Structure 1
C-alpha cells in the first residue's frame, strides 16, 4: 500500500510542530527503556508547557484513592484522562491542557493520574478510571463529562461503557481525542498511516502489548478495547475526533458509527492534516487551535445539554 504524501497533507505549521516534537522526543523513543521514555516525555512536556491562563488555579487531591488534579470551576465537571500509551504521562503532562479547558469552558476539570504500565498492566488503569470517576461524580458538580486523548480516550470510552449507561453517574457527554479504541490493526488507517509522523503502527502494537504485560492478546474485552463491546446503547452523547495522519484515525469514525447505529447521539470529526499528539500544537498550529476550540465548545454545549448542535461546525 502506497504511503500518503505527507508533504501535501500536512501544512508548514504542523511540520514545524512535528520537528520540534521529534527534537525533544525522537521517533525511536518507544525502543528505549521505560525509565528513559518517561524522562524524555517529561522533558518534552515541560518544553511545550504554556502555563495557566489568568485566574486559573489547581490543587492535587485524591478521588477514589486515585491521585488527581482539580481545577475548580462551576456549571459541571470534566473528568480528563491523559494520553501517553498507558506508559508515560501524568498530572504534569497535560496540566496546561486541562487548565485551558477550564478557562475556555468555566467548568471544573479533574485530571486523573491513573497507574501506568508495565508496572501496573491492564486492568489497573481502567480500575483507577472507574474509582476516580465514581468519586468525582459523588463530590463534584453535575453534569459530568468524560474526556481524554489517545490512551485517555480509551479510558473515557471504557469508563462510559462500564458505568455510564442509562444516565448512570449523570454522565452527560464524552469527547474522545485521537483515541485508540481497539480497531482492526490490519486494515484501514492502521495500514494507510502505518508510517505517519508522531505515531506509527509499530508504536501502536508496542503499546498494546505492554498493556497486558507482553502476555498473549486477551479475548475481546471492552475495558481493554471499547470497540470489542457488543452493546453501544444508552451511552452518553459523544464527539470522537481523529487526526487524519494517524494510524488510529479509523477508530474514532468506527466508534461514532457504532454509537449512532445504537441510537446514541454521536459525531466523528477527522481533523485534516493533523497528527497524533496535536493538542500540544494548539497555540502554534491554526488547525490544532481550531480543533481545540471545537473540543472546548463541545464540552460547554454538552454541559448545557445543547449538544449535538450547530456549535460543532463553527
Structure 2
C-alpha cells in the first residue's frame, strides 16, 4: 500500500500521461504515450556534459561524458516494447555527472517488430565492441538484459558488476509479489503478459537468457547490486536472484524500497524515497567500478 503523498502524486502524473490502456494499443501508439510520459519528468542534462550519438558494434548508442578507464553500459527499460535513448536520457546524464564515469546507453531493437533474441544480440554486440571494463546497469527490461549479458558471457570477460533496478528475471509467478501486486500502479501482471507475448509470441519462454532465474548455473557472474520496488509484481525476482548468486559464490546485495512502485526512477527529483534509492544506485555503480 502506498501512502507517501510524493509517490501518490508521481503515480497520478504518470497515469495522466500514460494510461493503463496504452499497453493494449498498437506498438506505435504505446510508444507515443510512453514518450510523452517520459517527457513530463525529463530533467535537463547537467551543464557542460558532452553527449554524442554514435554506433558501437553496429548498434546505435548515446555516449555521456569524456572517455574514462571504466565505463557504464546502461540498458533502458520499457518492457522491450517502448523506450529508447530519449526516454532515459536524463537518468544516464545524471549517472555520468554524479559518478564521473562515461555512460554508454544502448538503443537495442524493440518488440514486436524484433522478437527475442534480437535484444540481447544487440547488447552483446555493444559489449564485444567495448574496449574497456564496464559496469552494466539496467532498469526493468534493461535489468533483465543486464543480467542476461552477464549470463551470456559466463566463462568469458565479465562486467565489473551488474546493477539491476526493479528487474524481471523470469521468477515464480506464484510468489507473493506476483499475487499481492497483481494490480499495482504503473505495472500490472497483465502488462507483463502483454510484454512477454510481444517479445516471444504465444509460446513458452525457453531461453535461460530471457529468464536468468531459470539458468542451470549462475557461477562466475559479475557481482550484483539489485534494487526492488516493494509495490511491484516483479519485487520477488530481486531477492530470488540475489540468493541464487550467493549460493553459487557470487557477491550480491539486495535492497527493497518500501512504498515505491515500478518505474520510480522518474520520481527521483520529486520523491525523497526515490531520491534516496537513486543515491544508493549511484554509490553501488561507483563501488563496483572501482573493483580491481
Same fold by TM-score, threshold 0.5 exceeded? Answer: yes
Q: 2:219 aligns with which of 233, 252, 274?
A: 233
Q: 2:126 aligns with which of 132, 136, 142?
A: 132
Residue 39 of structure 1 corresponds to 32
Return 5+ residue gaps in structure 2 as ranges.
Answer: none
Length, aligned pairs only: 291
Residue 84 (structure 2) pairs with residue 97 (structure 1): no
Flag the 1:194–1:258 CA change in 2: closer, same or farther, 3 A.
same
Residue 218 of structure 1 corresponds to 205
Equivalent runs, 1:172-251 vs 2, <5 Å: 172-212=160-200, 214-219=201-206, 221-251=207-237
Return 5+ residue gaps in structure 1 as ranges.
Answer: 1-5, 307-314
Q: What value does the CA root-mean-square deviation take over the aligned residues?
A: 1.2
Q: Aligned partners of 2:184 and 2:36: how far apart in 1?
A: 23
Q: Aligned partners of 2:50 and 2:11: how far apart in 1?
A: 30
Q: 2:107 aligns with which of 109, 113, 128?
A: 113
Q: Aligned partners of 1:274 and 1:281: how far apart in 2?
A: 10
How far has the Cα of 1:170 moved from its partner? 5.1
* Residues 197 and 275, structure 1, Cα contact 8 Å, conserved in 2: yes
* Residues 148 and 175, structure 1, Cα contact 8 Å, conserved in 2: yes
Residue 267 of structure 2 corresponds to 281
Residue 296 of structure 1 corresponds to 282
Residue 142 of structure 2 corresponds to 152
Q: Aligned partners of 2:138 and 2:283: how far apart in 1?
A: 15
* Residues 167 and 238, structure 2, Cα contact 8 Å, conserved in 1: yes
Residue 72 of structure 2 corresponds to 78
How far has the Cα of 1:104 moved from its partner? 0.7
The C-alpha deviation readout for 1:7-31, integer Å capped at 9, x for no partner, is xx34110000000000100122111
Q: Aligned partners of 2:22 and 2:60: how far apart in 1?
A: 27
Residue 11 (structure 2) pairs with residue 21 (structure 1): no
* 2:157 aligned counterpart, secondary structure: helix
How far has the Cα of 1:75 moved from its partner? 4.2
